[in-house]
Amino acid sequence: MEGEKREGEKRGGAQKGGKTIITYGTFDLFHIGHLRLLQRAKALGDRLIVGVSTDQFNAQKGKKSIIPFEHRKEIVANIKGVDLVIPENSWEQKVEDIKKYGVDIFVMGSDWKGKFDYLKKYCQVVYLERTTGISSTQLRNILTTISVSKEEIVKAFEILEQLKRDLL
């Protein structure tokens, strides 16, 4: 697809001596909070690498994504400022990725504060504040709340039909 950065492919990238940033996430139901996190991460350096959690890794974490991995990866790859997208397959790969890509700064949202401090021996660790009022969990809860079963729809139509008969 035109403009799409495939896994492992660079767009732009850091110049020699530039800072490389890495962050990870599921990026399900992509929203303004995700966009702002990526923008603020990119502002910390020259090259932004984003690890997108695979469906298999999410299952290991007890999470189910609504949007499949390949679609989430494509969405993130097409965000301005993202230079490289890689799959996130495990918790353990972070040290390996930091070494492999010469990462200077590891970035996560503030909801993870302290959880990745063990990476400070490899690079700088920064926790960015979350965008208030929006999260994938919140969106998922809204979608769950507004979902209606087939039986409820049929019942609603039966009630409408009865009202129509009563009024005519």
Averaged pLDDT for residues 106-134: 89
Residue 54 pLDDT greater than 90, yes or no: yes
How far is Cα 121 from Cα 98, in angstroms, rounded to an integer? 11
pLDDT average, residue stretch 127-150: 67
What mean pLDDT do residues 133-147 have? 62
Look-up of token digits 């353990």? 92
Would you call 20 helix, strand, or coil by DSSP? strand
DSSP-derived 3-state class of residue 54: coil
Would you state the pLDDT for residue 111? 86
* More confident call, 159 vs 35: 35
The pair of three-digit structure tokens given for residue 135, joined into one six-digit string: 């999260």
Catalytic site residue 63? yes
pLDDT of the residue at 11: 40
What's this model's pTM, rounded to 2 decimal places?
A: 0.73
Q: Strand 105-109 vs strand 47-53: parallel, antiparallel, or unpaired?
A: unpaired
- In the predicted structure, residue 8 carries a pLDDT above the cut 60: no
pLDDT per residue as tens digits for the range 77-95: 999 999 999 999 999 999 9
**Catalytic position from the list 5, 19, 42, 63:** 63
Q: What is the CATH number of domain 20-134?
A: 3.40.50.620
Of 10, 19, 42, 61, the active-site residue reads 61
The pLDDT of residue 142: 57
Catalytic annotation on 121? no
Tokens of 105: 């700064």
Burial of 146 (0-12, 13-18, 19+ CB in 10 A): exposed
User: What band does 141 get if pLDDT is binned at 50, 70 and 90?
Assistant: low
